[in-house]
């Protein structure tokens, strides 16, 4: 799975678990936010104010409007960035986002970047500019998944600790092989179902870890077989059907893309049927739709 797809998974889980996210990473800010007034994700607004040269690139940035309890500000903005690959100009881009956001809203901004990639020496936290007697230093909060300790994440009661643990296991799985990644995924599932979270929260976290720790077909089938056996007929969480549907949807999308690619390569129909496991009629239907 592409690293940018990983970034988008992070982007989604941050919105799904926003309050847990803030409580995990920014305790002081979390304590001062008036959640009774709600919060608003301003991603469309952010897309409209970033540098035109950046548009079209899949950056996992989030801009959130929140209200404070202490009355010092009516509302502020939280700028969040998930970075899953090396980008030489990352800190400069963070600064560009800052001044463009500030120019538009004239509100206080909290900026935070999470690094989910596997480079030990990559964690840019400042943008510095100096020209003759003009100087600038822009600093923002950062967090490196690779540097986190497994035992501390396991000990946390915050659901987002499990999300971070999934990120850590994904990095370890890439280094240690697919079989090991399967073990990590099963361990995460056991932890998730034992924590006592709400059905909705379990499903959102499961959807994230299922996409992040993506496995080859054979191992993915084994994973779903194992969890269905664990849940059994008495699925107290009520999520096994949703998980199965999620799995089937992912598989269908995967097969659809494969068939489209093979059709583009003008592979014979019978060979596409054999490779995809779909019927001849299903492949012909995809072929017909692709022409329109």
Domain ranges of the chain: 3-147, 150-238, 256-291
Identify the sign of the CA torsion 231, 186, 242, 43. positive
**Residue 156 φ/ψ, nearest 5 degrees:** -75, 145
- pLDDT tens digits, residue range 3-24? 546 777 898 899 999 999 999 9
Q: Using CA atoms, how far apart are residues 63 and 41, in angstroms rounded to an integer?
A: 6
Closest Cα partner for 110 from 98, 100, 99? 98
Q: Which two tokens stand for residue 2?
A: 């592409």
202-205, Cβ contacts within 8 angstroms, sequence gap of 24 or more: 202/237, 202/239, 203/239, 203/242, 203/243, 204/13, 204/16, 204/17, 205/13, 205/17, 205/159, 205/162, 205/163, 205/166
Q: Which two tokens stand for residue 83?
A: 């970075």
Statement: residue 248 has pLDDT above 90:
no
- The pLDDT > 90 percentage for the chain reads 47
Spatial CB neighbours of 202, under 8 Å, sequence gap ≥ 6: 192, 193, 237, 239
For the entire predicted model, the pTM comes to: 0.79
CB-based burial of residue 189 (10 Å sphere; 0-12 exposed, 13-18 middle, 19+ buried)?
A: buried
Statement: residue 250 has pLDDT above 70:
no
- pLDDT tens digits, residue range 95-140? 999 999 999 999 999 999 999 989 989 999 999 999 999 999 999 9
- pLDDT tens digits, residue range 24-72? 999 999 999 999 999 999 888 887 877 554 544 545 688 999 999 987 7
The overall average pLDDT reported for the chain is 84
């Amino acid at each position: 799975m592409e690293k940018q797809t990983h970034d988008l998974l992070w982007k989604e889980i941050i919105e799904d678990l926003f309050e847990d996210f803030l409580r995990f990473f920014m305790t002081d800010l979390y304590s001062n936010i008036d959640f009774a007034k709600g919060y608003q994700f301003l991603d469309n607004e952010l897309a409209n104010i970033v540098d035109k040269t950046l548009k079209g690139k899949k950056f996992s940035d989030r801009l959130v409007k929140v209200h404070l309890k202490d009355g010092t500000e009516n509302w502020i903005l939280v700028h969040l960035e998930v970075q899953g690959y090396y980008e030489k100009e990352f800190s400069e881009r963070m600064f560009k986002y800052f001044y463009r956001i500030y120019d538009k809203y004239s509100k206080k901004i909290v900026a935070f970047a999470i690094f989910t990639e596997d480079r030990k020496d990559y964690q840019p936290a400042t943008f510095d500019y100096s020209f003759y007697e003009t100087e600038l230093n822009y600093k923002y909060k950062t967090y490196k998944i690779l540097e986190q300790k497994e035992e501390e994440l396991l000990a946390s009661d915050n659901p987002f600790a499990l999300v971070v643990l999934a990120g850590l296991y994904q990095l370890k799985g890439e280094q240690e092989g697919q079989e090991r990644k399967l073990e990590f995924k099963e361990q995460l599932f056991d932890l998730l179902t034992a924590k006592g979270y709400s059905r909705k929260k379990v499903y959102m976290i499961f959807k994230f870890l299922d996409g992040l720790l993506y496995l080859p077909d054979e191992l993915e089938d084994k994973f779903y077989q194992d969890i269905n056996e664990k849940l059994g007929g008495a699925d107290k969480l009520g999520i096994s059907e949703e998980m199965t549907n999620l799995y089937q949807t992912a598989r269908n999308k995967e097969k659809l893309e494969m068939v489209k690619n093979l059709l583009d390569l003008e592979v014979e129909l019978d060979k596409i049927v054999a490779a995809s496991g779909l019927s001849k009629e299903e492949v012909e239907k995809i072929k017909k739709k692709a022409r329109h």
